[in-house]
Structure 1
């Protein structure tokens, strides 16, 4: 796996339907993410579907700066995958998502991200990639641990 594309997986003792309901409900992201502390559907979107928009309120690295990020759902297959692009109206900078796979009475949940290969993102990732990659992996592990705790409690 390249540095610009990374993933973390965990097994959750819950069916894919329950995992899907949690990870695709962006209004619950504050319960799960160490950086994005709230999100809401915007532009008439009310739930997960390809093309739906939401914005996430991010506190970078858990300490700042704080900003709103525009997100658009790019892949949405109930009980299998939920992915969204982060960036601008026209340009995706990164993609984040969850893949779900039934696993012996539970679900293997994989959270992943990939950086778009645009010149600005290649420069950013060359300079800050190793540090940001570690932060992203820690954040994904925290998020998945919290998904597990919510669904197994």
Structure 2
């Protein structure tokens, strides 16, 4: 990832891709099972469906509890905004009209397996990162850059875990 000097209001994004030697159905079963995600994340501690939901569907909500040594502990409610089995699973964090982040898995059949990408966008809604920027506005671009690098490392590790499980 290159230094872009992006500001939070720019809605900066990160995307990582991998190829998995497994069918889209096999990969979908993993990416759409939010209960597996804490085992594959350095920050996410737990995830629970809300409102009686048992799985992903547009409009379904889940709460995630996370922890980061510099940012502390926090809880967010996410709203599923896209859900097409074996194709795309996306959610908006906090307010779907003004999310603090958007996350998306995309699956595509390729070369007898599945190309899987995980993408995330910061903002435009306020988040814990906004609080750090409020305290040090002159360091906004560095704060955003460092956080995007953390997300890039985390996404890379998550995709490696999904690949390992799908190919097992």
Q: One fold, TM greater than 0.5? A: yes
Larger radius of gyration: 2
- Separation in 1, partners of 2:58, 2:154: 25
Deviations 1:18-60 (A, max 9, x none): 1111111111112222211221101222210001000111112
Moved over 3 A (4+): 88-91, 120-127
More strand per residue: 1
- For residue 68 of structure 2, the aligned residue among 55, 60, 66 is 60
Shift in Å at residue 102 of structure 1? 0.5
Residue matched to 2:45:
37
8 Å contact from structure 2 (residues 93, 101) kept in 1: yes
8 Å contact from structure 1 (residues 70, 89) kept in 2: no
Under a length normalisation based on structure 1, what TM-score does the superposition of the two structures give? 0.87
Residue matched to 1:147:
162
Is residue 79 from structure 1 mapped to residue 94 from structure 2 by the alignment?
A: no
Is residue 99 from structure 1 mapped to residue 94 from structure 2 by the alignment?
A: no
Determine helix, strand or coil for the equivalent of 1:34: coil
Shift in Å at residue 90 of structure 1? 5.9
Is residue 9 from structure 1 mapped to residue 24 from structure 2 by the alignment?
A: no
Under a length normalisation based on structure 2, what TM-score does the superposition of the two structures give? 0.80
Shift in Å at residue 91 of structure 1? 3.5
Matched residue count: 151
Question: Runs of 5+ in structure 1 lacking a partner?
Answer: none
- Separation in 1, partners of 2:30, 2:71: 26
Shift in Å at residue 128 of structure 1? 1.4
Question: Runs of 5+ in structure 2 lacking a partner?
Answer: 7-11, 134-139
- Separation in 1, partners of 2:143, 2:123: 15
